[in-house]
């Protein structure tokens, strides 16, 4: 960096710290003449900074707001403070678009030196703001890394724990981060499953960057919203069960579409699909959508399993019984 550039940045840093600087004091602090200060001010104006000057004995320079946001210079303490504030804000349910917080956080953390990033991690871990409603704790470190990967279109590896406490490593291409209800969700393309998947961010333990870039896939905002809405609907239910059907995961995805969310491959020819509801009737509704002719098993829990069996046996007896007399 040239001496001229270094001096201009030093001048900008001074102008950002006080509302008004006399020209003589700026020259003294920078170790140059007042004429050199005037030339450096002109350079800043050429870069888009609106620097006002006033003549006279009490005259000087001040940095005013312009029509656009120019680059800002931050001290180490200011950068750490802003990063912590953005991390805390990103974990809250913000009105007006939380994506703005994530993009700002991504831009700032990208340029933080490792020493400052360590300070941010340590301080952010000790900050416990009042949360807006009950909900799982989201790691601001994970959220920031996902924001960077989504912005830069970088493939990453996720260490993920599903609702059954099963750990897995997923290779994904992040496309969108979205909040729904009390949770954050990552919509991404699962490289190994060759399909869209939505992951709860609070269940992601770590993010490993691969430095492999990918071309964004076409997906509408409506489909993004639908997939996130579907994922957010998988909250704990009174009745929860899994269905293992004699259908390969790829064939199941083709049949169920976005409603295959949460399904996994049991083996090459069987797919496991979670179902649930407030009672056994709602859980049964999911099983009614299994394609005709496809055999399946289920771990429907007791006592709901016994209730369901009694209802089905009674329905079979009714179907096998002689038809009632014709209505008049």
**Which range in 6-10, 145-149, 214-218 is most confidently predicted, on average pLDDT?**
214-218
3-class secondary structure per residue, the chain: CCHHHHHHHHHHHHHHHCCCEEHHHHHHHHCCCHHHHHHHHHHHHHCCCEEEEECCCCCEEEEECCCCCCCCCCCHHHHHHHHHHHHHHHCCCCCCCCHHHHHHHHHHHHHCCHHHHHHHHHHHHHCCCCCCCCCCCCCHHHHHHHHHHHHHCEEEEEEEECCCCCEEEEEEEEEEEEEECCEEEEEEEECCCCEEEEEEHHHEEEEEEEEEECCCCCCCHHHHHHHHHHHHCCCCCCEEEEEEECCCHHHHHHHHHHHHCCCEECCCCCEEEEEEECCHHHHHHHHCCCCCCCCEEECCCCCHHHHHHHHHHHHHHHHHCCCCCCCC
pLDDT band at 1 (very low <50, low <70, confident <90, very high): very low
Domain 3-64 has CATH 1.10.150.130: no
**pLDDT value of residue 116:** 76
C-alpha 165/C-alpha 182 separation (Å) is 20
CA-wise closest residue to 85 among 115, 119, 124, 134? 124
Residue 230 has pLDDT above 80, yes or no: no
**pLDDT value of residue 245:** 94
CA-wise closest residue to 182 among 144, 137, 226? 137
Q: What percent of the chain has pLDDT over 90?
A: 22
Residue of 242 and 180 predicted with greater confidence:
242
pLDDT in tens, 168-189: 999 999 988 887 766 788 999 9
**pLDDT value of residue 93:** 47
105-119, 120-134, 167-181: the lowest-pLDDT one: 120-134
* Span 198-216, average pLDDT: 89
C-alpha 27/C-alpha 7 separation (Å) is 11
**pLDDT value of residue 307:** 92
pTM, 2 dp: 0.47
Phi-psi region of 181 (alpha: psi -120 to 50; beta: other; left: phi over 0): left
Residue of 160 and 235 predicted with greater confidence:
160
CATH number of 76-229: 2.30.30.520
**pLDDT value of residue 233:** 66
Residue of 327 and 125 predicted with greater confidence:
327
Residue 132 has pLDDT above 50, yes or no: no
C-alpha 192/C-alpha 301 separation (Å) is 32
Q: What percent of the chain has pLDDT over 70?
A: 78
**pLDDT value of residue 122:** 66
Listed by start position, the domains of the chain span 3-64, 76-229, 239-320
pLDDT in tens, 14-64: 887 666 788 888 999 999 998 999 999 998 888 878 888 887 766 788 877
C-alpha 107/C-alpha 144 separation (Å) is 10
């Amino acid at each position: 960096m040239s001496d001229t550039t270094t001096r201009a940045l030093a001048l900008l840093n001074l102008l950002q710290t006080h509302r008004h600087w006399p020209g003589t004091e700026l020259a003294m602090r920078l170790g140059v003449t007042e004429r050199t200060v005037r030339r450096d001010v002109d350079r800043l104006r050429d870069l888009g900074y609106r620097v006002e000057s006033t003549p006279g004995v009490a005259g000087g320079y001040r940095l005013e707001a312009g029509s656009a946001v120019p680059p800002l210079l931050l001290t180490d303490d200011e950068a750490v403070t802003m990063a912590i504030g953005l991390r805390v804000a990103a974990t809250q349910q913000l009105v007006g678009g939380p994506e703005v917080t994530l993009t700002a956080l991504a831009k700032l953390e990208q340029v933080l030196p490792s020493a400052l990033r360590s300070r941010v991690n340590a301080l952010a871990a000790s900050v416990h703001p009042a949360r807006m409603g009950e909900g799982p704790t989201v790691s601001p470190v994970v959220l920031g890394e996902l924001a960077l990967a989504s912005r830069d279109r970088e493939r990453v590896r996720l260490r993920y724990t599903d609702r059954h406490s099963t750990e897995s490593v997923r290779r994904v291409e992040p496309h969108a981060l979205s909040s729904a209800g009390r949770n954050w969700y990552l919509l991404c393309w699962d490289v190994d499953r060759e399909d869209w998947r939505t992951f709860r961010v609070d269940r992601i333990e770590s993010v490993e960057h691969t430095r492999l870039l990918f071309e964004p896939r076409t997906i509408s905002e409506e489909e993004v919203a639908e997939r996130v809405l579907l994922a957010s609907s998988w909250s704990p239910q009174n009745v929860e069960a899994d269905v293992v059907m004699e259908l390969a995961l790829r064939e199941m995805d083709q049949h169920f579409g976005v409603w295959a969310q949460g399904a996994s491959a049991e083996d090459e020819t069987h797919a496991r699909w979670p179902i649930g509801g407030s009672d056994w009737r709602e859980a049964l509704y999911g099983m009614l959508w299994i394609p005709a002719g496809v055999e399946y098993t289920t771990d429907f829990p007791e006592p709901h399993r016994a209730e369901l069996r009694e209802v089905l046996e009674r329905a079979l007896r009714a179907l096998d019984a002689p038809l009632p007399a014709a209505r008049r």
